[in-house]
Amino acid sequence: MPDDLILTVPPIWEEIEGVREAVRAHLQRQGIGDGSVDALSMVATELMENANKYGAFGVGDKITMTLEQGSAAITVGVRHAIGAADDSNLVRLDRTVQWIRGFQDPFEAYVARLEEVSAQSLYSEESGLGLVRIAYEGRAILDFCLEADGTVTVSAVYPL
């Protein structure tokens, strides 16, 4: 579809800002409003950060980010390798997505996660806010699909 954007980048942190800018530019060319551009840029960035943080990459592996625009929604998907030996990240992803869905409103999940973060040690390295930000600030519905080839696609559907 002509309104789609597909980016394939190496799993390095320095690539994330380029993805954010590419998403912003693409959406602006499509005439998407500034509020939606900001939200979707954040969604793409958070998904890319999670892929970098939790993916299992070999030499030459890439992360693929897709942005598909439909008449009622825009879907951001990030596909990356997860590794067959350790499924703890996949279990955590599933648990987090289901936890967010358990709230009537994503704002409630966001507040609950912020309360958990505020109780953590200052030296804690993980906040767990990324997916909750996508649901609340990004107004997106989260899902994921595990592929037989050892990759996962995490998607966020943003209603227009």
pLDDT digits (tens, 9 = 90+) for 33-80: 999 999 999 999 999 999 999 898 999 999 999 999 999 999 999 999
- The answer to whether domain 5-159 has CATH 3.30.565.10 is yes
9 or 84: which leads in pLDDT: 9
87-143 pLDDT, tens digit per residue, is 788 888 999 999 999 999 999 999 999 998 888 777 776 777 899 999 999 999 999
Spatial distance between the Cα atoms of 74 and 89, rounded to a whole number of angstroms:
26
For the chain, strand residue ranges (E) read 5-9, 63-69, 73-81, 141-146, 151-159
15-45 pLDDT, tens digit per residue, is 999 999 999 999 999 999 999 999 999 999 9
Contact at 8 Å (CB) between 41 and 25? no
Domains in the chain: boundaries: 5-159
Q: What is the pTM of this model?
A: 0.91
